[in-house]
Amino acid sequence: MGGTIIHPAPSRHRATATSGAWTLLQAIALDGHTRFVVLTRSLMTVALIASIAGVPAAVVPARHAAHIDILAAFATA
């Protein structure tokens, strides 16, 4: 199983969006676990399946919305 190994290193400056994940990595490192493995093949497989399923699922509502008269929709709301 190939993966990307990320070694947590202490740092005081992290972006807000990743601070929760970084805090989790630091807590795991305190328990003696020194590496975090991201399974890139599995991650890419899930992303590919989600995009293959998501694009066709969005087509039906988009086509329906394209045929709606916006002024009539506001008038009934």
Chain segment 57-77, per-residue pLDDT in tens: 999 899 988 888 888 878 876
Centre a 10 Å sphere on the Cβ of residue 28 and count the other Cβ atoms it contains: 14
Question: What is the biggest distance separating any 2 CA atoms in the chain, rounded to whole angstroms?
Answer: 63
Which residues lie closer than 8 Å to 77 by C-beta, 6 or more apart?
none
- pLDDT of amino acid 68: 85
pLDDT, one tens digit per residue, over 2-47 is: 666 665 555 555 455 567 777 887 888 888 877 767 788 998 999 9
For the chain, what are the domain ranges? 1-37, 39-77
Please classify residue 22 by burial: count the beta carbons closer than 10 Å to its beta carbon, then call 0-12 exposed, 13-18 middle and 19+ buried.
middle
Specify the pTM: 0.47
- Tell me which of 1 and 60 has the higher pLDDT: 60
- pLDDT of amino acid 1: 54
Nearest to 26 by CA among 50, 6, 53, 41: 6
